[in-house]
């Protein structure tokens, strides 16, 4: 149920570091030197031998084919290009701007829920991974909910206890407290930071706003079974006993885990945000 704590976090940059290979040993260098010498002598012998034969016609040089250029996908939901005043800070120095804006929108208590540094990068990584199976908690923009999953029903028929929903009350309240219009206006104004973080993640031709709206649609389509959710415990962590629920993405599992009332409130807010983003996207 809970995201595995031992998972290695997925790479944020989406790129692999390349390190210089160690210098060759003397024996290897000697072998390479002899090999190069043999090749040179062989080439010289062939050259002298061919001097005694009629010269072969010189083949016509041909230019190598031009590499195929990967076309960038069309942007589905473009946002207006703004020139914010004052200008945006660099991505690596953007935490102060975003935190101050969120405090203005939701109150000083929001600071206690945020994981820093790299707030924009954390948001982008989390959004990109919500439709997938896992993401390391260390990369979330918000601190994990306190406590552990509350279970009732006994070892044979465990279910998520209704009281488990209380663990997420602060997060749901924070989300509802945010004014959707002002929050999306902040997002649009600072969008170049999110776009840069998305490109840095490994999507040189991607458009983060498109990905965000697709993820919102994915979350809004989360199924909501009736009744208590049965669990299984094949190892240390709990899983959904229903294979169809266990196969859901980490984002949908989160909405299932927080309880039906919390999930309904979160979905309502996500629907507001989606509509507001689309309203800005239509201004093109």
Q: Is 85 exposed, middle or buried (0-12, 13-18, 19+ CB in 10 A)?
A: exposed
Q: Kindly list the domain boundaries of the chain, sorted by start residue.
A: 91-147+166-224+266-281
Contact, 263 vs 57, CB < 8 A?
Answer: no
- Residue 70 pLDDT grade (very low, low, confident, very high; cuts 50, 70, 90): low
More confident position, 134 or 70: 134
Of the pLDDT bands very low, low, confident and very high (cuts 50, 70, 90), residue 72 is confident
Report pLDDT for 68. 52
Q: For 230, list phi and psi in degrees, rounded to 5.
A: -75, 150
Residue 16 has pLDDT above 50, yes or no: no
- pLDDT tens across 154-166, in order? 888 999 999 999 9
Q: What long-range pairs does 132-137 form, CB within 8 A, spacing at least 24?
A: 132/249, 132/250, 133/249, 133/250, 134/3, 134/4, 134/7, 134/250, 135/3, 135/9, 135/10, 135/250, 136/3, 136/7, 136/8, 136/9, 136/10, 137/3, 137/5
CA torsion sign, 188 to 98 to 198 to 245? Answer: negative
**Res. 281: pLDDT tops 50:** yes
What is the per-residue pLDDT for 109? 87
């Amino acid at each position: 149920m809970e995201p595995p704590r031992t998972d290695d976090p997925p790479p944020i940059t989406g790129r692999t570091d390349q390190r210089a290979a160690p210098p060759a040993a003397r024996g290897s260098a000697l072998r390479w030197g002899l090999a190069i010498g043999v090749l040179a002598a062989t080439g010289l012998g062939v050259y002298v031998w061919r001097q005694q034969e009629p010269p072969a016609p010189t083949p016509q040089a041909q230019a190598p084919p031009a590499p195929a250029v990967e076309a960038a996908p069309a942007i589905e939901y473009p946002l207006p290009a703004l020139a914010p005043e004052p200008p945006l800070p660099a991505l690596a120095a953007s935490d102060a701007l975003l935190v101050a804006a969120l405090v203005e929108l939701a109150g000083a208590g929001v600071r206690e829920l945020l994981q820093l540094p790299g707030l924009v990068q954390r948001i982008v990584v989390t959004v990109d991974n919500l439709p997938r199976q896992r993401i390391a908690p260390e990369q979330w923009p918000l601190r994990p909910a306190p406590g552990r999953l509350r279970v009732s029903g006994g070892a044979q028929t465990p279910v998520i206890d209704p009281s488990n929903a209380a663990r997420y009350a602060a997060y749901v309240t924070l989300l509802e407290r945010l004014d959707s219009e002002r929050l999306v206006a902040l997002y649009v104004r600072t969008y170049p930071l999110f776009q840069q973080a998305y490109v840095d993640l490994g999507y040189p031709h991607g458009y983060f706003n498109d990905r965000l709206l697709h993820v919102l649609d994915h979350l809004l389509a989360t199924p909501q079974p009736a009744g208590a959710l049965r669990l299984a415990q094949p190892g240390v962590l709990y899983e959904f006993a229903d294979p169809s629920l266990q196969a859901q993405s980490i984002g949908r599992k989160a909405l299932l885990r927080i309880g039906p009332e919390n999930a309904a409130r979160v979905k309502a807010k996500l629907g507001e945000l989606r509509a507001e983003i689309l309203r800005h996207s239509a201004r093109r």
